[in-house]
Amino acid sequence: MAGHPCPIPKRVGIVPKVTSIEATETSEHVARFLRAKGVEVITEEESIGRDADLVVVLGGDGTLIHAATLLGGRAAPILGINMGSLGFMTETPQSEMYPMLETVLAGGATMSPRMKLRVHLHRGGSPERALDTEVLNDVVISKSPFSRMAELDVRCSRQYVCTFKADGVIVASPTGSTAYALAAMGPILFPTMRGVVLAPICPHTLTQRPLVVPDDETLDIVLMNDAETFLTLDGRKGPALQRGDRVQVKQSYNRVLLVQNPNIDFFGILRSKLRWGER
């Protein structure tokens, strides 16, 4: 599937996985390579978020999500170099890193726009926003291990869907459909399609199944009981929820732009990660 042309960068930010010595050392080699090409290199995170017109990620999907958070809503492409096994978003293996950088600097790369989700937390039904943020993968409402089951009233653009009695619920973007939502038996969405996954976590009844809703709908999820419940945003622990809290999730106008590896497509990634076609 053809992507959008990736602009030639003048200022490149480098974000290595902070817990990886290899990634940190590789970032120094990448910086020297880029400077030799006349490119300005940025390594300070605040400056990356403000000034970089390309971000090179050295790590895995978690590091890429961190880089997307640094950018906020700014439309700077992200080139994901995977330092371990092939990632769903960090498509380029380390062995192809320099040829891929050459392609980007020559103006021959393409990028895939990925939808983000905007998340609002309304405390106790108040119209005031106690939280206003964005995620690339998913929003998760989940109970603590020893808490009673959560009761979650779900509405789609004000239309009542159901009340999930479950360990929680996941709202995932198409990109996030291959993350936690997949473990909750959710469907795999092609990453650039328009849709949002709503998947209950261990529901009390097997009739409550994951579903996909259009991306122009607004989901409102209200905690109806006193279960000890938390909000998790792209894997980062958020605030504890109280009875009556409303979590609103809708499509963001912002996009995350991922530089595409021309040597592998989404189905190739699925075959590699999920072993499709193997016995």
Tell me which of 51, 53, 61, 265 is the catalytic residue: 61
Bridge-based pairing state of the strands 11-16 and 54-59: parallel
Predicted confidence at residue 1, as pLDDT, reads: 56
> pLDDT higher for 276 or 16?
16
Let me know: does 63 contact 16? Beta carbons within 8 Å. Answer: yes
Let me know: does 130 contact 160? Beta carbons within 8 Å. Answer: no
Predicted confidence at residue 124, as pLDDT, reads: 85
pLDDT band at 2 (very low <50, low <70, confident <90, very high): low
Cβ contacts of 87 within 8 Å, gap of 6 or more: 60, 61, 64, 80
Residue in 195, 77, 221, 71 with CA at minimum distance from that of residue 139: 221
- Phi, psi dihedrals of residue 67, rounded to the nearest 5°: -65, -40
Examine domains 4-109+260-274 and 115-254 and report if their fold is the same. no
Predicted confidence at residue 180, as pLDDT, reads: 95
CA dist., res. 82 & res. 96, Å (int): 10
pLDDT in tens, 201-214: 999 988 889 999 99
Domain boundaries, the chain: 4-109+260-274, 115-254
Rounded mean pLDDT, 123-150: 91
CATH for 115-254 is 2.60.200.30
CATH homologous superfamily of 4-109+260-274: Probable inorganic polyphosphate/atp-NAD kinase; domain 1 (3.40.50.10330)
Is 216 noted as a catalytic residue in this protein?
A: no
Averaged pLDDT of the chain: 94
Percent of all residues in the chain with a pLDDT value above 90, rounded to a whole number: 82
* Least confidently predicted of 25-39, 41-55, 263-277: 263-277
pLDDT in tens, 242-251: 999 999 999 9
Q: List residues bridging with 16 in a β-sheet.
A: 58
Predicted confidence at residue 130, as pLDDT, reads: 87
pLDDT in tens, 166-225: 999 999 999 999 999 999 999 999 999 999 999 999 999 888 899 999 999 999 999 999
pTM, two decimal places: 0.93
Output b/e per residue, 131-144; b: 16+ Cβ within 10 A: bebbbbbbbbbbbe
